Amino acid sequence: MESLSVNHPPVAIVGGGIAGISAAFHLSQYGVPIVIFEQGNQLGGRIRSFYDDGFDAELDWGVHIVAGAYTEFLRLLRALGTDKEMRWIRPLHLPFKGIGTPTYHLQFRRLPGILGPLTGFLSYRALSFSERLRLALQLLRLVSKKHVPAISAETWLAQIGATPMQASRFWDPLILATLNSLSNQIGLLSLHQIVRLGLSQSAGFALGLPLKPWQRIVGDAAQSYLVRRGVEVRLKTRVKQVIIENGQVRGLSLNGEQVPVSGTILAVSPWDWRHVLTPEQFELLLDRAWLSPPSSAVHSVHALFETEEPPTTAPMLGLWGTVNHWAFAQRLESHQPLWRISTVISASDGLLSLPESQIIALTVRELHALWPDFRPEPSKVRCVRMQYATCPFTINFEKWRPNQKTRVAGLFLAGDATATGLPATLESAARSGSLAAKALREEARGDGQA
């Protein structure tokens, strides 16, 4: 590939989501000339926000949770100076509730190593004592696996004899929250990866929620940081095609413009790969399965209640036996009592055909059913639909994930669909950008360049 010096064409990063931001951050540490091309009007990708007239506030496209073990993503936030804009549940404490049930608590203890979560599982009274004991053993067995069989998570749960209560009150909420999938949709490897990450270090025994809209924490902060470091950010700019000549990336084709580049990192979603690569390029670089990758939707409902006593004040609450899976409560700064309750429906492709008004009505009914004494209606409500929220890694798709380095000199891939050792998460996206930047620099050094 061409030299990465300031006297040569820049490195192009196509896509301004977490993966693209991470790649630009790492390359900018070495003075590499960089241009980010983002077809939207702001950086951030799927972790962005929008202004809602009814709420007179920014709302997030989905509710994103950060695990304490997301080292690469948190390193990025520290560099952007926004790591303090997180509210941490540390040690982990999650209440759970179903219609007509008490509230149960999964609460880790401040004990050394894995003792903290193990004592938390053993005291989780939503399950019988024998189920709790077996759950702790199941987790230890999963984490210690050196060879993970190519089966679905559902098949594995059946093999280990997981009870219906264990499935509905622990395994299903875990899989939905971390993988945005049902147990029959993902391979066991994805579950193994996420559990091992969460239990491998004490930092993983915590969850972080944003204190501000994600757009401010990531997208806006990243643009300000990268521009200060000399990175050119071109918004509302769609890349139509990657130009490859003689096995080497030479440039990008935009609308009526061709831009020469020294190298390119494609940090777009897997659903966009076929739009920026020609059929011949696609055939060379990717398995044909990626022509139509699977997707998993997320629906969020934001409801505003003018009350002193909301149905819950828990920052994060798990829900059982309802269409909604999680509820998040936030008191808003106002001259009057104002609470925003946001709910999340994961793996919700079945709701894509429903009008948003129907999903809103269903959510309000479920809130009233969960808390019968709570009767106020929301003063404002908004449903947010993300059809392509994540790419679930089934048994087959896990083995088709591409590496960051491709067969074409100067062309690299980034994004949580690439091979990172993790399923589709914020951490996987951030890690992919770091790996792509590293691969690009190593290829340049191998050619005797900077």
Per-position pLDDT tens, the chain of length 450: 555 655 679 999 999 999 999 999 999 999 899 999 999 999 999 999 999 998 888 999 988 999 999 999 999 999 999 999 999 998 899 999 999 999 999 999 888 878 888 889 999 999 999 999 999 999 999 999 889 999 999 999 999 999 999 999 999 999 999 999 999 999 999 999 999 888 876 655 789 999 999 999 999 999 999 999 999 999 999 999 999 999 999 999 998 889 999 999 999 999 999 999 999 999 999 998 899 999 999 999 999 999 988 999 999 999 999 999 999 999 987 767 889 999 999 999 999 999 999 999 999 999 999 999 999 999 999 999 999 999 988 887 778 899 999 999 999 999 999 999 999 999 999 999 999 999 999 998 876 444
H helix intervals, 291-424 = 356-370, 395-399
- Residue 104 CA to residue 126 CA, distance in Å, equals 6
Yes or no: say if 261 and 27 are a contact pair by the CB < 8 Å rule: no
- Residue range 295-390 forms a domain whose CATH class is alpha beta
- Residue 80 CA to residue 70 CA, distance in Å, equals 15
- Residue 319 CA to residue 434 CA, distance in Å, equals 35
* C-alpha 283 chain-centroid distance: 28
11-47+214-293+401-446 is a CATH 3.60.20.40 domain = no
Would residue 46 be called left, alpha or beta, if left means φ above 0 and alpha means ψ between -120 and 50 degrees? alpha
- Residue 384 CA to residue 172 CA, distance in Å, equals 23
SS3 14: strand
CB atoms within 10 A of CB 311: 23
Tell me which DSSP letter residue 132 carries: H
Intervals of CATH 3.50.50.60 along the chain: 11-47+214-293+401-446
SS3 188: helix
* C-alpha 72 chain-centroid distance: 13
Side-chain-side CA neighbours of 110 within 13 Å: the count stands at: 3
Task: List CB contacts of 24: < 8 A, sequence separation 6 or more.
Answer: 13, 34, 36, 222, 226, 231, 433
What residue has token string 């009592």? 337
Intervals of CATH 3.90.660.10 along the chain: 295-390
Q: What is the pTM of this model?
A: 0.94
